Structure 1
Amino acid sequence: MLNRVILIGRLTRDPELRYTPAGVAVTQFTLAVDRPFSNNQGQREADFIPVVTWRQLAETCANYLRKGRLAAVEGRIQVRSYDNNEGRRVYVTEVIADNVRFLESANSGNRDEGMGMGAGSGGDGGGYRGGYGGGRSQQQDPFQDDGKPIDISDDDLPF
């Protein structure tokens, strides 16, 4: 069996950071993900998907993600239920993220910054395992086309 989700979308509001009574950080935010088709009026619709992150990943998301930012989320779908104040059972479907990649920075507009972080495999997010990419303006792209032919032998190709 497999329960894996990968989403790319924009945050609808700033992440909300809270701590459990045991002191574990948990962040919730909603990701707006465009549907791959248009409605009858030719407009694109979106789904608004709740996302939950735990521990170090939660604190990092709360510190660096903001409303409107583009992010990629990888995780699993979880359905939980609770009884509300009126005694009715309420079902909540959400994505428990174990990897979040920031696809743009605060001052980059729509440029891909490549900053990402994730948590190890664990029931609720595990520990922090990711690092920061970024630094694109400080390093030259090794795959940039500089007009020179690429010298590569057939032995170097993996296929």
Structure 2
Amino acid sequence: MINRVVLVGRITRDVDVRSTQSGVSVVSFTLAVNRNFTSASGEREADFINCVAWRSTADFMKNYVKKGNLLGVDGRIQTRNYEDSDGRTVYITEIVADSVQLLESRNSQPDSQQPSRNRYEDNRQNDAQDELYETAKNLVADDDLPF
């Protein structure tokens, strides 16, 4: 059986990491993913996909991911249900993110407040992230998607 999902989209709000009673970090977030076509009125629509990340991925998102960031998410679809206070069954479908990648350089995120160690290390990190951004931008062009 195969249950694999790869998404590229923008996060809709800043993340808020919570912890379970046993101390495991978890974050829920929504990813806005553009559709590959336009509507009848000529507007590009987006799907808003609910995602959840656990442990170190949740901690990474708390430290580095901000509203509007372009993210690559690799994970799986999970469905679950529960009974609400009115006795109705509520069904939830979400993506469980195994890994999350930032697909933009920090230079394109003006309000980023990442701690810096020194100017040399910052320049090396920025260069690496810029290269990753350019590579991702070339790989994820809308015209190249097969669906």
- TM-score bracket, normalised by the shorter chain, equals 0.7 to 0.9
Q: Higher relative CO (CA 8 A, sep ≥ 6), structure 1 or 2?
A: 2
Q: Aligned residue for 1:75?
A: 75
Q: Closer, same or farther in 2 for the Cα pair 1:89/1:104, shift >3 Å?
A: same
CA contact (8 A) 2:32 2:49 kept: yes
Residue 16 of structure 1, CA deviation = 2.2
Q: Aligned residue for 1:59?
A: 59
Unpaired segments ≥5 residues, structure 2: 110-123, 132-147
Q: Aligned residue for 2:107?
A: 108
Q: Aligned residue for 1:137?
A: 127
When normalised by structure 2's length, the TM-score is 0.73
Q: Closer, same or farther in 2 for the Cα pair 1:15/1:4, shift >3 Å?
A: same
Q: After superposition, what is the alpha-carbon deviation per residue over 1:1-32, rounded to whole angstroms, capped at 9, x for unaligned?
A: 10000000000111121100010000111000
Residue 138 of structure 1, CA deviation = 6.9
Residue 137 of structure 1, CA deviation = 2.3
Q: After superposition, what is the alpha-carbon deviation per residue over 1:22-73, rounded to whole angstroms, capped at 9, x for unaligned?
A: 1000011100000111111000100000111111111111111111110000
In our comparison, the structure showing a higher alpha carbon Rg is 1
Residue 136 of structure 1, CA deviation = 4.6
Residue 87 of structure 1, CA deviation = 1.4
Count of matched residue positions in the alignment of Structure 1 and Structure 2: 116
Aligned to 2:56, what secondary structure does the other structure show? helix
Q: Which amino acid aligns with 1:104?
A: E
Instruction: List, as ranges, runs of 4+ consecutive aligned residues in structure 1 with deviation greater than 4 Å.
Output: none
Distance in 1, matches of 2:44 and 2:97, equals 25
Unpaired segments ≥5 residues, structure 1: 111-133, 142-159
When normalised by structure 1's length, the TM-score is 0.68
Distance in 1, matches of 2:107 and 2:91, equals 38
Distance in 2, matches of 1:23 and 1:136, equals 33
Distance in 2, matches of 1:68 and 1:95, equals 19
Residue 103 of structure 1, CA deviation = 0.8
Distance in 1, matches of 2:32 and 2:64, equals 18
Q: After superposition, what is the alpha-carbon deviation per residue over 1:70-108, rounded to whole angstroms, capped at 9, x for unaligned?
A: 000000000011111211111111000111100124x42
